[in-house]
């Protein structure tokens, strides 16, 4: 049965000229834009190939296997000038991650304290926190870094007159010396006990939650968890005879020996990053807390929850929803800003690559390496924080 076109449910396609058809137009513009982009890319690549050939610069990542021939002042993993460029870059990457991770942890703690301080009922405390935030937010990070690095190098005393705490911690213009425990065979078992403790604590927490959901009975799972995680290794350590030998830094000649030294550049970078970023984090925390309706506190107290429970079960979950997304970008900022290390001589990833570029001339490979490394780190942080954000997000119908 033939259906008259006028009565069919789908309207007839309007007749339009091809240059007015949105689909054709869309593809036309896309092809033009991408074509121009490809042309530009081809042009640049051609120029680059010519230039590289003319300046006799090798291309490819073969240089990673060659001997680097430069020293790196501050390393955690073993490295010497005889190692390869590849290893030098890894050392730089590890240094970047070290300062970024420590910076994120410390800035979060300090920023949260300052942010809460700004809301204190104590006028003096609130004002001082406000001045702190404004002072650190409105001056470039690079200036803070240079100021702190120069201050440590020039205005702190030398090793002989080092500032001394308990005859074990020394702060001088050569760095911050801290005592470390000397390795003992029992350490291995303590570590295993620690891991087991985490597992047991997780299991207990799960059990407690299930029990609370079934019966309503509560169990102090946070305290119990801490007790298990700290207590188990402690028991193992005590059973092992409680070996405590410390390597304490002591002045020998012109410098200290023993202990572990935090290099002045590392301290300067860490302090600068933490102070600067904590000012931003303080503002985020403050706005997160202010975003919660006051009625929430009153309602929860009226329901008979204690102040601690109100904070933990009612206020914090809601504040975190506001806080987490901007906090993510601050964490990314710390990671990216750690690249300013190059200005004060801390051997991070960018500094290692910079030396490599200067020695081999392979700028493109070096910069590709930097970009790939930072993109990987940035994306991992974003992915983690997005996962966390989803976990705490409001569950809507």
Partner 1 sequence: MADITNGSATVTRVYRPPPSQATGAIGWMRRNLFNSVLNSIITILLVLVIGMIVWNFLDWAVFKSVTSAKSGQECGKISPDGACWAFVVDKYRLIFFGTYPYEEQWRPLFACISVIAMLVLSCDRRFWNAWLAAIWGIGSIVTFLLMFGQIFVPLSVLLIVALVAGGVGLLLRRRAASAIEVVAYWVLATVGAVGLAVLLWDWVMGLIGAPDLMVRLSAFVPGFTIAPLSYVETSKWGGLPVTLILASYGLAFAFPLGILAALGRRSKLPLIKGLCVGYIELIRGVPLISLLIMASVMLPLFLPTGMTIDKFLRALVAVTLFAGAYIAEIIRGGLQSIPKGQYEAADAMGLSYMQKTAFIILPQALQVVIPPLVNTFIGFFKDTSLVLIIGIFDLLNAGEQAIVDRVWSGYANEIHVFLAIIYFCMCYSMSRYSKYLEREMNKSVRR
Contact residues for partner 1 (CB under 8 A)? 26-27, 29-31, 33-34, 37, 44, 47-48, 50-52, 54, 120-125, 128, 134-135, 137-144, 146-147, 150-151, 154-155, 336-337, 339-340, 342-343, 350, 354, 357, 363-364, 367, 370-371, 374-375, 378-379
Output the DSSP codes for 306-360. -HHHIIIIIIHHHHHHHHHHHHHHHHHHHHHHGGGHHHHT---HHHHHHHHHHHH
Integer angstrom CA distances of residue 158 from 167, 170, 177? 16, 10, 13
- Output 26 or 62, the one with its CB closest to partner 1: 26
- Output 47 or 212, the one with its CB closest to partner 1: 47
- Output 50 or 167, the one with its CB closest to partner 1: 50
- Output 9 or 138, the one with its CB closest to partner 1: 138
Assess contact for 346 and 265: CB atoms under 8 A: yes
- Output 256 or 280, the one with its CB closest to partner 1: 280
- Output 78 or 155, the one with its CB closest to partner 1: 155
- Cβ at position 334, least distance to partner 1 in Å: 11
CA dist., res. 331 & res. 175, Å (int): 26
- Cβ at position 285, least distance to partner 1 in Å: 18
Helix (H) or strand (E) holding 262: strand 260-262
- Cβ at position 138, least distance to partner 1 in Å: 4
- Cβ at position 376, least distance to partner 1 in Å: 9
Indicate the length of the chain as a whole number: 397
- Output 30 or 257, the one with its CB closest to partner 1: 30
- Cβ at position 375, least distance to partner 1 in Å: 4
- Output 29 or 203, the one with its CB closest to partner 1: 29
- Output 44 or 180, the one with its CB closest to partner 1: 44
- Cβ at position 389, least distance to partner 1 in Å: 17
- Cβ at position 42, least distance to partner 1 in Å: 12
- Output 256 or 335, the one with its CB closest to partner 1: 335
- Cβ at position 287, least distance to partner 1 in Å: 12
- Cβ at position 18, least distance to partner 1 in Å: 17
Give the chain's largest Cα–Cα span.
107
- Cβ at position 265, least distance to partner 1 in Å: 15
């Amino acid at each position: 049965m033939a259906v008259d076109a006028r009565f069919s449910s789908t309207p007839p396609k309007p007749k339009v000229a091809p240059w007015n058809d949105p689909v054709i137009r869309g593809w036309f513009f896309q092809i033009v834009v991408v074509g121009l982009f490809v042309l530009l890319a081809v042009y640049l690549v051609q120029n680059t190939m010519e230039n590289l050939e003319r300046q006799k610069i090798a291309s490819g990542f073969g240089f990673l296997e060659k001997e680097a021939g430069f020293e790196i002042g501050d390393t955690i993993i073993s490295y010497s000038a005889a190692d390869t460029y590849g290893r030098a870059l890894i050392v730089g990457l590890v240094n970047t991650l070290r300062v970024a991770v420590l910076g994120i942890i410390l800035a979060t703690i300090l920023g949260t304290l300052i942010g809460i301080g700004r809301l204190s009922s104590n006028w003096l405390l609130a004002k001082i926190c406000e001045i702190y935030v404004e002072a650190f937010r409105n001056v470039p990070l690079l200036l803070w870094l240079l100021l702190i690095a120069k201050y440590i190098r020039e205005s702190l005393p030398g090793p002989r007159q080092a500032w001394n705490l308990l005859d074990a911690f020394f702060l001088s213009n050569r760095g911050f010396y801290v005592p470390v425990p000397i390795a003992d065979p029992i350490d291995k078992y303590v570590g295993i006990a620690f891991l087991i403790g985490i597992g047991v604590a997780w299991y207990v927490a799960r059990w407690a939650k299930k029990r609370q959901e079934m019966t309503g009975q509560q169990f102090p799972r946070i305290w119990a968890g801490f007790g298990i995680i700290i207590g188990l290794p402690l028991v193992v350590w005590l059973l092992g005879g409680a070996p405590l030998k410390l390597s304490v830094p002591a002045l020998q000649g012109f410098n200290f020996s023993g202990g572990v030294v935090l290099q002045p550049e590392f301290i300067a970078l860490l302090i600068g990053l933490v102070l600067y970023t904590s000012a931003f984090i303080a503002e985020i925390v403050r706005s997160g807390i202010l975003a919660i309706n006051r009625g929430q506190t009153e309602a929860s107290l009226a329901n008979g929850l204690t102040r601690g429970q109100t904070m933990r079960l009612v206020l914090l979950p809601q504040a975190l929803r506001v806080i987490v997304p901007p906090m993510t970008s601050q964490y990314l900022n710390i990671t990216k800003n750690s690249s300013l290390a190059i200005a004060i001589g801390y051997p991070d990833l960018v500094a290692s690559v910079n030396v490599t570029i200067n020695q081999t001339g392979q700028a493109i490979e070096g910069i590709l390496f930097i970009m790939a490394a930072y993109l990987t780190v940035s994306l991992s942080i974003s992915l983690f924080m997005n996962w966390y954000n989803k976990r705490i997000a409001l569950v809507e119908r």
